[in-house]
């Protein structure tokens, strides 16, 4: 008998009918003799609704109470699914993060899982019950409710699969796998049969929200094979797995974009040792994560320092940078929020020259100006004007990804 962890995202539990469908799927797995742990998200749109309710109450809601509020979305769906299963004579029990003890740190709204106690789940499974777990939530060392960041149910599921040494972890969503690009932006995107943990990590961190990045980190660390598939069909999805030799043959496996960053330029900074350390040290101390950085060649003893930060942290970063500009005698500060990052990702980039050049040429041919560039072993990212983001993704997809027909 095998143990399966299945996670159902918001659209898969959007209403009572959809939850019934999930119930049928789970029941079929039980009939086939498997032990099943189900992780559910809140109903589609519910987390957003709860977050805006908090904002209606006060502009800057208390972070602890905000997590108490948003975690309720998942409690609703656990109870409904467990009811549905019990009604269908599939014994089931719902459990919240604190009942299991999914222990996290105290970083409300973006907490990290530190440990999972598998005792209660194992007892319930041994008693023949399906265990329905609330995704997205945990509890800190002092019993406060925490949440794991948007899309965090993916991480709940993979972390549980790792803790329980499950035979498989299935992520059910509204697309039938991981595609070469977001199918909503690129209709010709095609489904990948398999993708390596490292490529999926890059795609997730560069904007492909189909899996939360931390879920992929867990999957890689504990070697959990993850099967991303649709809850609307029975077709085989995409396997996220350890790298295989043949994967290096594919130059680019995905094109992705991210509109969640803003750009800040410190203009006319004295070109002296220690300045970058001071600027980025101050920003890091405020817990703001800087992504891309460029520094212009120094002319007449001054330089420009440009970098990007998450839009959510933009106001805070701006406040710090304006203060720093005065202190270090910079000429001024320029900002742009209407930017987007477009990236290509592929293991094959490790061993092939000229990929970045082809990317820049492709963008130049349609008149898109590149504002910043960052590369790693398996990705190249550029920052462009936000109004060109979809065009950039499409032309890069055309240039680098084999069309569906000729794909192997």
Q: Which of 387, 393, 323, 318 is nearest to 359 (CA)?
A: 393
Q: Does 137 bind ligand ASP (CB under 6 A)?
A: no
Q: CB 154 → Mg ion: shortest distance, Å?
A: 6
Q: Which residue is nearest to ligand ADP (CB)?
A: 9
Only one residue has tokens 């790792």, namely 162
Cα–chain-centroid distance for residue 254? 15
Q: CB 138 → Mg ion: shortest distance, Å?
A: 17
Q: CB 68 → Mg ion: shortest distance, Å?
A: 21
Footprint on residues 268-287 left by ligand ASP (CB under 6 A)? none
Footprint on residues 27-46 left by ligand ASP (CB under 6 A)? 41-42
Footprint on residues 143-182 left by ligand ADP (CB under 6 A)? 151, 173-175, 178-179, 181-182
**For residue 234, what are its two tokens?**
């029975």
Residues 8-47 as x/- pattern, contact with Mg ion by CB under 5 A: -x--------------------------------------
Query: What are the percentages of helix, strand and coil residues in the chain, rounded to 5?
Result: 40, 25, 35
Q: CB 11 → ligand ADP: shortest distance, Å?
A: 5
Burial, 65: exposed, middle or buried (Cβ in 10 Å; 0-12, 13-18, 19+)? middle
Q: Kindly state the helix (H) or strand (E) to which residue 204 belongs, with its residue range.
A: helix 197-205
Q: Which of 246, 272, 262, 371 is nearest to 321 (CA)?
A: 262
- The item of Mg ion, ligand ADP, ligand ASP, none sharing an interface with residue 291, based on CB under 5 to 8 Å by kind, is none
**Number of shown-chain residues binding ligand ASP (CB under 6 A):** 13
Burial 199-226, CB ≥16 within 10 A → b, else e: bbbbbbbbbbebbbbbbbbbbbeeebbb
Only one residue has tokens 């003799």, namely 33
Only one residue has tokens 């530190």, namely 114
Select the span of 148-156, 182-190, 262-270, 271-279 touching ligand ASP (CB under 6 A): 148-156
From the list 184, 221, 350, 387, which residue makes contact with ligand ADP (rule: CB under 6 A)?
A: 184
**For residue 199, what are its two tokens?**
């490529």
Q: Does 46 bind ligand ADP (CB under 6 A)?
A: no
Beta carbon nearer to ligand ASP, 134 or 186: 134
From the list 97, 135, 138, 151, which residue makes contact with Mg ion (rule: CB under 5 A)?
A: 151
From the list 116, 164, 166, 210, which residue makes contact with ligand ADP (rule: CB under 6 A)?
A: 210
């Amino acid at each position: 008998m095998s143990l399966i962890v299945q996670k159902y995202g918001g659209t898969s539990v959007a209403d009572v009918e959809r939850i019934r469908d999930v119930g049928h799927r789970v029941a079929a797995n039980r009939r086939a003799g498997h032990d099943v742990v189900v992780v559910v998200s809140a109903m589609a749109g519910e987390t957003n609704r709860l977050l805006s309710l908090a904002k209606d109450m006060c502009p800057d809601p208390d972070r602890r109470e905000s997590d108490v509020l948003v975690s309720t979305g998942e409690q609703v769906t656990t109870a409904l699914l467990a009811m549905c299963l019990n009604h269908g004579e599939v014994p089931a029990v719902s459990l919240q993060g604190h009942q299991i003890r999914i222990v996290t740190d105290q970083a409300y709204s973006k907490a990290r899982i530190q440990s999972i106690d598998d005792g209660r789940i194992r007892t319930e499974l041994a008693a023949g019950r399906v265990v329905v777990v609330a995704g997205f939530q945990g509890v800190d060392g002092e019993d406060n409710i925490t949440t794991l960041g948007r899309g965090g149910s993916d991480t709940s599921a993979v972390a549980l699969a790792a803790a329980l040494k499950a035979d498989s972890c299935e992520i059910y969503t509204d697309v039938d796998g991981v595609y070469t690009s977001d199918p909503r932006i690129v209709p010709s995107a095609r489904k990948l049969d398999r993708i390596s943990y490292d490529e999926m990590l890059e795609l997730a961190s560069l904007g492909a929200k189909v899996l939360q990045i931390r879920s992929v980190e867990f999957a890689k660390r504990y070697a959990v094979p993850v099967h991303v598939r649709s809850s609307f069909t029975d077709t085989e999805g995409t396997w996220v797995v350890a790298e295989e030799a043949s994967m290096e043959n594919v130059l680019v496996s995905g094109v992705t974009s991210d509109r969640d960053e803003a750009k800040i330029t410190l203009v006319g900074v004295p070109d002296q040792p220690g300045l970058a350390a001071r600027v980025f040290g101050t920003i890091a101390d405020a817990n703001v994560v800087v992504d891309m950085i460029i520094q212009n060649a120094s002319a007449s003893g001054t330089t420009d320092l440009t970098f990007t930060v998450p839009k959510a942290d933009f106001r805070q970063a701006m406040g710090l940078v304006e203060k720093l500009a005065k202190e270090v005698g910079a000429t001024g500060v320029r900002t742009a929020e209407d930017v987007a990052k477009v990236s290509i990702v592929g293991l094959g980039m490790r061993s092939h020259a000229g990929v970045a050049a082809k990317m820049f040429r492709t963008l130049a041919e349609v008149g898109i100006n590149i504002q910043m560039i960052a590369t790693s072993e398996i990705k190249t990212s550029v920052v462009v004007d936000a109004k060109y983001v979809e065009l950039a993704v499409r032309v890069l997809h055309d240039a680098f990804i084999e069309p569906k027909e000729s794909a192997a």
